[in-house]
Structure 1
Amino acid sequence: MKNELPTNWIEVNFENIADATDFVANGSFKSLSDNVTQTKIPDYAILVRLSDYSKKWNGNFRYVTKSSYEFLSKSSLLPGDLFIANVGYPGKLFLMPDLGMPMTIGPNGLRIRSKIFSSNVFLSYYYRSPQGKKILNSIVSGTAQQKFNKTGLRKSSVLLPTFAEQQRIVVKLDELFGHLDVLKTRLKNIPQILKNFRQAVLTQAVTGKLTEEWRVGKELEDADLYLGRIYKSRVNYQIGVEKVYSDKGLNAPRKPSQSILDGSHIPISIPKLWKEVRLGDLIVDLTDYHANGSYVKLKANVTLKEEEDYACMIRSTNFEKNNFEDLLIYIDEKAYNFMHRSKLFGGEILISKIGNAGSVYLMPNLNRPASLAMNLFALRVNELVDNKFLYYYLISNSGSNLINKYVRGVATKSIDKISVRSVMVGLPSEEEQTEIVKRVEHLFAKADAIEAQYLSLKTKIDSLPQAILAKAFKGELVEQLDTDGDAKVLLEEIKKLKAEATKRPKKRVKPKPKRKKIIDISFESGVIDSSKISGKGFKVNVDAKYNSRLYNRVDTIVKSKLFIWLLDQPDNKTFEFDLLKAQVAMPYQVLSEQVIELLDLTSEGMRPGIKRVYENDKMTFQKII
């Protein structure tokens, strides 16, 4: 890497220019478990996690108590500190904002704090650059869960220019990324603008406004005569189906039902020359996977396969993700022929019948055998009706609203065949349908062209940050000034300070004896002398007569997390058991047993203690002294 260094730059060890610490720097796992209390209820300090940044600091934080925060003194956070994730998503980083209260770093992250030779902002840009990412990737290990530790980071190298050039790089990057953010914000609105435009076109199309001027002076076919031709075409289609089956010596399938829901007429706004019809009037068949036979027959004749075979099964997932290559399941030729009722050839209108019920898709021609998977209906459109017009009608806001009136369910939404047939449609003449499709596709083509330009620009903009950062850490982003000097001087200063720190004699500091807080516990009955009872940070003082059994009980309870928590509470404070569960990190059963023991000791005269209090038929506890 040294051969790649820009002029007047140096390569230094991380530990020479910054400090790295983490959650576990404060002690062993046992000591952390014993001394750190986490809670979802707001408390003294925020335990900062990568998820807080990912969720844009939405306030759904984890907290620690004041004593926990003080115990975690080696990893406290200040606004401007650099957080780098080192487990799970190694290398993901951010600069700490001011959250308005004390902060400390949670597990799976490192706190980086620069020394006088650099800045946190410069280091944040460095580790986002291709050069910095390469360094981090070199110390990452693990496959199931990738990670690196602070020791590996401390021993890694950093590319460093003079401090003056560092400052200019930061200023320039701040400026460029600020412009990029503004540009991204503007581009972010384009997909919604295009979506709104397409829906506006469809609304104009299905209400007749798109072709309003076109209809003037046209002698269009009478709507009733046109509908009569559609009915006759459907009859002829059914006769043809029956003949095909008869020629093969097979029983023809049952004629498609034409039933609709009673009282399901929903008035729609359409031009004078259009006709109110039902969706069932415009199709020759409404089928699905289960139209091929009973569950028993389907199970016996159809095996779904992950590996490619004769025919593919089409699911709503293929349309939602616009993927007809990688997300397919397959069936063999025998199963495909068995499911003759649900073969797909392209041009069918598909409607999801469960889950995202009512979603509408237009089947493409895949140039290969295809069949309908479960959870979709296939509508074969009458040859006298333009299937694209009907598709545009159904995906318009008007069409979607009409379909959704028949969707049932809350947790799992669904729609049935009779409801699909009952959906109202505004039907123009055959000639006007052709004109509507032509105009819609012309306008959609313009939207598609804009979208293609947007996607191309977005791809370029998304690649710009890495290109800019790469240039910055090649020494090509800002001008190198003669007045900057050479970073080698900076290296000599680092070595000098390090040598002085090594030579400086360590002062022998006589450890001060830890003074334990004296806690007075009284017993009205005077039955214990507990002068020997000591817990972490306190000593119990009781004037009473010795009793070994009671002594052991008091000795146990005063060292519990419950009692330590109680000492921090104001006198006469009332609290519910749920608060204890949230703030005292103990297993539920153990906490319950200790609460009962403390209640018993309190009843025997121990102070401070707790008692039960009933408010509005609800039990709470109260600290008493």
Structure 2
Amino acid sequence: MDAELPLGWAFATADELSDTVPNALAIGPFGSNLKVQDYRTSGVPLVFVREIRRERFGGADTKYISNEKAAELAAHVVRPGELLITKMGDPPGDTAVYPLDRPGAVITSDCIKLSPNLKVTSSDFLALLLRSPGVRSLLVEQTKGVAQQKLSLKRFREIQFPLPPLNEQRRIVAKLESLLACSRRAKESLDAIPALLERFRQSVLSAAFRGDLTQDWREANPDVEPASKLLERIRSERRRRWEEAELKRMQSKGKLPKDEKWKAEYKEPECNDEAGAFGPVSGLGWVVAPVDGLCDPNRGVPYGIVQTGDETADGVPTVRCGDLKDFSIDLALLKRVAPSIEQQYTRTRLSGGEVLLAIRGTVGGVAVASEKMRGMNISREVAMLPVLPGVEPRFVMYLLASPAATALLAGRTKGVAQQGVNLSDLRSFPVPLPSLAEQVQIVRRVDAAMSRARAVARVCAEAVSRTPSLEAAILAKACRGELVPQDPTDEPASALLERIRAENNQPADSDPTARSKRRRENKVA
């Protein structure tokens, strides 16, 4: 910290800031004087470093000692309104004022307690002072240790703290409390925004799959191909692909069909009994079809690599459930699976355009595989939905993230050690299907809403990240004497300290209060 101080300020040690009573400045007892065996479920509470850091005392994790043990450790008692500082941490120096509504407590070994001399300073001012960047750097300079960073009481006593006049301290505390209260309110408001954004996202998705989001579009476009015609085309294409693959399979075995009876083996997938979960969509001109009925029959709706093994530098990037976040996949974070393992799962090798859904662990994460992901694979925690032409992949992605769909998936989640959705349940999952043109319109509008939500979230996150530096800047300004006006009539801190030293060094017999007391006693006698 700069050695040049504002007018009227002075440097003071922790001893000069402390009260004159015994143990006004003390550390917690050594480990041999306070052991785990001394802990009780009631009695006198103990104060730990974690409570100072979070500035919250008491609670389910509070430890106690007996009244008798507390009496032995009387030198380490902290009382309401006194200052607490951590002497261990990375770095040490976190501080808190012990609350006025708490009972007296015993500090533990890695804590320092300071009872301020109220003629010189206050706990409120010292707490703010110790949190300022300049003073924190002073504390760090006095920190020693390799495995554990510690600030000894001896080194703490050697620090020269900048001290304003007493009246200026009071003005600083009042101003800082006002500014920091504004900062806290702003942060609380910012912290509430992510939950509001999530509600907004869910509201948009609900509206999209109730048909509300595109009601105006349907009214303006009554002549688009009906969803029923689209579904006929999808079913026809699905059957054609199945027949083509089945014929190739028979031919590869040398079994040429003599008639068309083999085609009767094709089974049209059916929805489960939850087809009405999205409401009366038929009134919108939509139809309902099962997931399996909208996917390539030759690829099915499978999960991927069962045992991915150890990561391999030249391996195949593989999507796991944790990679599906915010409708996207960070390719740089994908695990690389050995080619010898991946080659056993060619069925789930990606081509691009597949809908990927987390069905194990954190169920419900969903994204669409991009063209860049061609040749990559998925793990068993992820299901692949290779939708057919006529089905917009991002439409299905948003559908599976909607409140109605997530509730259905949650109801189908099974398992004890690891929760998951069975593929049979996913294959029969109902999809409310509008025309292709309306699917595209829904995706466009949801994309726009999600983009706006992400933009707000970025601005919010940036504002939250700036809050600590803003508070640090305010504290730094206060400790440079720039936050409040200085009053030339204030008693300088140097004069105040000198006067307190003189009072402390004054013999007991020279105390005028003591002399007048003796005179009164003589008169009574």
TM superposition score normalised by structure 1? 0.69
Change (3 A) 1:262 1:490: closer
Given that 2:289 and 2:431 are in contact with CA atoms closer than 8 Å, whether structure 1 keeps it comes out as yes
Shift of 1:303: 4.9
Partner of 1:13: 13
Given that 2:80 and 2:104 are in contact with CA atoms closer than 8 Å, whether structure 1 keeps it comes out as no
Change (3 A) 1:378 1:168: same
Aligned pairs, number: 481
- SS of 1:154 mapped into structure 2: helix
Q: Distance in 2 between matches of 1:200 and 1:438?
A: 16
Matched, 1:194 2:197: yes
Change (3 A) 1:311 1:499: farther
Q: Which moved more, 1:214-223 or 1:113-122?
A: 214-223
Partner of 1:225: 229
Q: Distance in 2 between matches of 1:371 and 1:332?
A: 11
Partner of 1:32: 34
1:145-160, aligned counterparts within 5 Å? Answer: 145-160=148-163
Given that 1:260 and 1:419 are in contact with CA atoms closer than 8 Å, whether structure 2 keeps it comes out as no
- SS of 1:110 mapped into structure 2: strand
Partner of 2:523: none
Q: Distance in 2 between matches of 1:117 and 1:368?
A: 71
Given that 1:389 and 1:433 are in contact with CA atoms closer than 8 Å, whether structure 2 keeps it comes out as yes
- SS of 1:377 mapped into structure 2: strand
Partner of 1:210: 213
- SS of 1:288 mapped into structure 2: coil
Post-superposition Cα deviations, 1:66-108, rounded to whole Å, max 9, x if no partner, equal 1122122112122221222222452222211134433222343
- SS of 1:114 mapped into structure 2: coil
Partner of 1:314: 319
- Which residue identity lines up with residue 424 of structure 1 in the other structure? P
- Which residue identity lines up with residue 280 of structure 2 in the other structure? I
Q: Distance in 2 between matches of 1:386 and 1:354?
A: 25
1:520-535, aligned counterparts within 5 Å? Answer: none
Post-superposition Cα deviations, 1:550-597, rounded to whole Å, max 9, x if no partner, equal xxxxxxxxxxxxxxxxxxxxxxxxxxxxxxxxxxxxxxxxxxxxxxxx
Q: Distance in 1 between matches of 2:151 and 2:332?
A: 34
Partner of 2:107: 105
Post-superposition Cα deviations, 1:261-302, rounded to whole Å, max 9, x if no partner, equal 876655541332111211222222323224xxxx7xx6xxx6
- Which residue identity lines up with residue 356 of structure 1 in the other structure? T
Change (3 A) 1:238 1:477: farther
Q: Distance in 2 between matches of 1:51 and 1:10?
A: 33
Partner of 1:423: 429
Change (3 A) 1:118 1:364: farther
Change (3 A) 1:143 1:283: farther
- Which residue identity lines up with residue 342 of structure 1 in the other structure? T
Partner of 1:591: none
1:221-370, aligned counterparts within 5 Å? Answer: 221-236=225-240, 267-271=277-281, 272=283, 273-284=285-296, 285-290=300-305, 303-305=309-311, 308-320=313-325, 324=330, 327-332=333-338, 335-364=341-370, 370=376
Shift of 1:420: 1.0
Given that 2:44 and 2:64 are in contact with CA atoms closer than 8 Å, whether structure 1 keeps it comes out as yes
- SS of 1:104 mapped into structure 2: strand
Q: Distance in 2 between matches of 1:405 and 1:222?
A: 32
- Which residue identity lines up with residue 314 of structure 1 in the other structure? V
Q: Distance in 1 between matches of 2:235 and 2:51?
A: 61
Partner of 1:405: 411
Partner of 1:531: none
Given that 1:289 and 1:374 are in contact with CA atoms closer than 8 Å, whether structure 2 keeps it comes out as yes
- Which residue identity lines up with residue 427 of structure 2 in the other structure? R
Change (3 A) 1:22 1:238: farther
Q: Which structure has more RCO (C-alpha within 8 Å, separation ≥ 6)?
A: 2
Q: Which moved more, 1:313-322 or 1:435-444?
A: 313-322
Q: Distance in 1 between matches of 2:120 and 2:47?
A: 27
Post-superposition Cα deviations, 1:296-347, rounded to whole Å, max 9, x if no partner, equal xx6xxx65326x4353222222334978366442235555555423333544
- Which residue identity lines up with residue 108 of structure 1 in the other structure? D
Q: Distance in 2 between matches of 1:498 and 1:323?
A: 69
Q: Distance in 2 between matches of 1:257 and 1:142?
A: 72
Shift of 1:378: 2.0
Unaligned residue ranges in structure 1 (runs of 5+): 249-254, 505-625
Matched, 1:139 2:142: yes
Change (3 A) 1:410 1:323: same
Q: Distance in 2 between matches of 1:173 and 1:358?
A: 46
Shift of 1:485: 4.2
1:386-397, aligned counterparts within 5 Å? Answer: 386-397=392-403
Given that 1:83 and 1:111 are in contact with CA atoms closer than 8 Å, whether structure 2 keeps it comes out as yes
Q: Distance in 1 between matches of 2:472 and 2:158?
A: 25
Shift of 1:183: 1.8
Given that 2:269 and 2:293 are in contact with CA atoms closer than 8 Å, whether structure 1 keeps it comes out as no
Q: Distance in 2 between matches of 1:104 and 1:374?
A: 53
Post-superposition Cα deviations, 1:486-513, rounded to whole Å, max 9, x if no partner, equal 3332343465467669xx9xxxxxxxxx
- Which residue identity lines up with residue 225 of structure 2 in the other structure? E
Change (3 A) 1:500 1:440: same
Given that 2:78 and 2:107 are in contact with CA atoms closer than 8 Å, whether structure 1 keeps it comes out as yes
Q: Distance in 2 between matches of 1:244 and 1:491?
A: 98
For residue 385 of structure 2, the aligned residue among 373, 379, 398 is 379
Given that 2:76 and 2:107 are in contact with CA atoms closer than 8 Å, whether structure 1 keeps it comes out as yes
Q: Distance in 2 between matches of 1:256 and 1:137?
A: 75
Given that 1:141 and 1:147 are in contact with CA atoms closer than 8 Å, whether structure 2 keeps it comes out as yes
Given that 2:9 and 2:492 are in contact with CA atoms closer than 8 Å, whether structure 1 keeps it comes out as yes
- Which residue identity lines up with residue 323 of structure 2 in the other structure? N
Q: Distance in 1 between matches of 2:11 and 2:135?
A: 12
Given that 1:264 and 1:422 are in contact with CA atoms closer than 8 Å, whether structure 2 keeps it comes out as no
Change (3 A) 1:410 1:445: same
Post-superposition Cα deviations, 1:19-41, rounded to whole Å, max 9, x if no partner, equal 432221xxx5444349x8312x3
- Which residue identity lines up with residue 484 of structure 2 in the other structure? V
Q: Distance in 2 between matches of 1:194 and 1:93?
A: 34
CA-atom RMSD in angstroms: 3.5
Q: Which moved more, 1:69-78 or 1:100-109?
A: 100-109
- Which residue identity lines up with residue 126 of structure 2 in the other structure? L
Change (3 A) 1:219 1:143: farther
Partner of 2:449: 443
Q: Which moved more, 1:360-369 or 1:194-203?
A: 360-369
- Which residue identity lines up with residue 282 of structure 1 in the other structure? L
For residue 466 of structure 1, the aligned residue among 469, 472, 485 is 472
Shift of 1:48: 2.2
Shift of 1:187: 2.3
Q: Distance in 2 between matches of 1:13 and 1:323?
A: 55
Report sequence identity in percent: 27
- SS of 1:434 mapped into structure 2: helix
- SS of 1:457 mapped into structure 2: helix
Shift of 1:392: 0.9
- SS of 2:414 mapped into structure 1: coil
- Which residue identity lines up with residue 140 of structure 2 in the other structure? N
TM superposition score normalised by structure 2? 0.81
1:482-521, aligned counterparts within 5 Å? Answer: 482-493=488-499, 496=502
Change (3 A) 1:88 1:485: closer
